[in-house]
Amino acid sequence: MESHHVEIRHLTFEDMSELKSASERVYDGGALSVWTSAILHRLFTVFPEGQICVCVDGKVVGCALSLIIDYAKFGDEHTYEEITAGYDFTTHDGEGDVLYGIEVFIHPEYRGLRLARRLYDARKELCENLNLRAIIAGGRMPKYAENAKSMSAKTYIEKVKSKELYDPVLSFQLANDFHVRKLLVGYLSGDVASKEYATLIEWSNIFYTKSVKLINARRSDVRLGLVQWKMRPMKTLEELIEQIEFYVDAVSDYKSDFVLFPELFNAPLMAEFNHLSEREAIRALAGYTDQIRDKFCEFAISYNINIITGSMPLLEGEELFNSGFLCRRDGTFQRYDKIHVTPSEDRSWAMRGGDSIQVIDTDCGKVGVVVCYDVEFPEYIRLLADQGMNILFVPFLTDTQNGYTRVRHCAMARAIENECYVAIAGGVGNLAKVNNMDIQYAQSALFTPSDFQFPATAIKAEATPNSEMTLLVDVNLDLLKQLHSHGSVHTMRDRRKDLYTLARTDKAKQKD
C-alpha cells in the first residue's frame, strides 16, 4: 500500500493556485467554481484563522472555509449569497456566535483517504477554541435530482437519515455528528444536482460557555480528597476537631477542591455515653453536631476547600436524622439527609429518613451527596442525575466486607448508568467501647463511567483496604460532556421515556 504524509494546517495565500485547481476538479462550472484569487484574498483579509487546508505529500488537496456570523441576524431562513454577502464576506463578525461553513471540498483523486473527516474535526476544534456555540452550514444534496421525480426533498432527507438512500454529502455530515435543523429552499442558485435545496445542518459545541469569566470561572479539572478515617478512641470534642483539621489541612495542601469525610465519623465520642441505651446514646452524640458543623464551616473558609462532612446524628425536635453538610469555601453550607435508613438504624436508634432529593450547587458545578445505603437505590441517584449532577459523593460506614461490597458495586453501577463520577469514603478500625459501632471495613475509591475516555476498569483510584489514609484524585468534567454527546452508548439520553418515567412525588417537591 502506498503511504502518504497528511497534514492539516491553516490555508495560506500562497496555496491559492493549488486550491483553485482542486476546486475546479470538484465542481463543474457554475457558482461553485468562483473561488478566484480576489475572492480568496477578501476571505483571508477578514478571517484567516478560519480557513483550513489538508495537504498530502506537501500538496494542497482540499480545504474547509468558514466565517463567524451573528446567527440571530440571519435565522434559519437564509441563502448562501446572504451568508457570504455575495462573496464580499462583510457578514463576518468576530463577536458572532456561530462558525458558518461556506465550503468543504477534496480533490477527487484523494477522496479514498477520508480527508474530509479530518477537515471536519479541525473545524470542530476551531469552533471549541473560539468558544462559539455551534457550526452551521447549508449542506448540498447532490443525489436529490436523481430522486426528485419519485419523492419530495423532505422524504429524501428522511430516507438518507434512515440509510435507505445514500447521499455523498448528507450521509457524511450525519456520520460526523451533525443534525438537520430544517430544509432550505433556493439556498444556492445554480446547484442543479440539489435542485437548489439544502439541508441546514448544525453541530453543537458542548464546551461552549455563554460568557467567559476572567476570574472565579468553573474549571473542568476538579481535585477530590477522600478521607479513609480511622475510628480510634477519643475522649473529648477537641480531640476529634484536631483530627478533622489535620485531614482538612493535609488535603488542602494539595489544592483540592473537595474533601469527603465518612458516615458517622464522630462515633468515637459516643464512648462516653456507653452507659446509656443505644437509642439514648446516639441522641446524646447528636448534641455535638452543631458545634462540629460550625468548625467545618470555619475550616472550609480558612483552608479554601469545600468540605463534605460525611454524616452525623441530627435531632429536630424528637426526630433523629442521619445528616451532613456541604460546607462551601465561601462560608455558606447546605444540609443533606440520608433518606433510606437501614433496618439496624431503625431498630437500634429509631432513626428517620429525610425527604429532600436535590443536587447542591458548588463552585465546581452540581454535585450530589447520598449517605451509604442511599446509593443502593438507583431511582434516587437517577433523579439527582436528571438535575445535572456531575459528581456523586457517598460517605459510608460498613462493618463487614459484605456490606462494603454492596456499597462498592452499587456505586460503580451508579457511575456507569448516570454518566457521572462517584466518590466513596468510609471509616476503618475498631471502637471496642462503643455499642453498635465496634468494627468497620472500608476501601475508599473513585469510580468513573465505562468508556474510552476513562479507565478500562471504571476505577480511577482506590485506597488500601482497611488502612487509615487519604486518597487524592483528579476528575475532568469535560470528559463527561464528551461522554454525554459522543459516548459509545448514551444511557441517559437513550431512555424510553415513551414507555416509562421517573419523577419526584409531591412530598419530595414540597421539601425541595
Question: Read out DSSP for 231-280?
Answer: E----SHHHHHHHHHHHHHHHHTTT-SEEEPPBTTTGGGGGGGTTS-HHH
d(CA 319, CA 283): 10
Q: Can you tell me the distance from the alpha carbon of 426 to that of 226, in angstroms, rounded to the nearest whole number?
A: 9
Residue 50: closest CA among 139, 126, 129, 136: 126
Segment holding 295, helix H or strand E: helix 289-302
Active-site residue among 18, 196, 263, 419?
263
Active-site option among 372, 410, 420, 460: 372
Q: Which residues contact 316 (CB under 8 A, 6 or more apart)?
A: none
Q: Using CA atoms, how far apart are residues 112 and 19, in angstroms rounded to an integer?
A: 19
Dihedral sign, CA of 108, 114, 120, 123? negative
Picking from 346, 266, 345, 339, the residue whose alpha carbon sits closest to that of residue 309 is 266
Residue the block writes with cell 461522554:
483
Question: For residue 267, what are the contacts with CB-CB under 8 A and spacing of at least 6?
Answer: 231, 285, 397, 427, 431, 434, 437
The answer for 59, left when phi > 0, alpha when psi is -120 to 50, beta otherwise, is beta
Query: Under DSSP, is residue 440 helix (H, G, I), strand (E, B) or coil?
Result: strand
Active site residue 20: no
Per annotation, catalytic residue among 230, 295, 338, 460? 338
Of 10, 5, 103, 82, residue with least CA distance to 51: 10
Cell of 301: 473558609
User: What Å distances lie between residue 480 and 356, 390, 476, 488, 492, CA to CA?
Assistant: 26, 8, 7, 12, 12
Give 448's DSSP letter. -
Residue 338 a catalytic site member: yes
Cα separation, 268 vs 234, whole angstroms: 6
Q: Do residues 63 and 11 make contact, with C-beta atoms less than 8 angstroms apart?
A: yes
Active site residues: 263, 338, 372
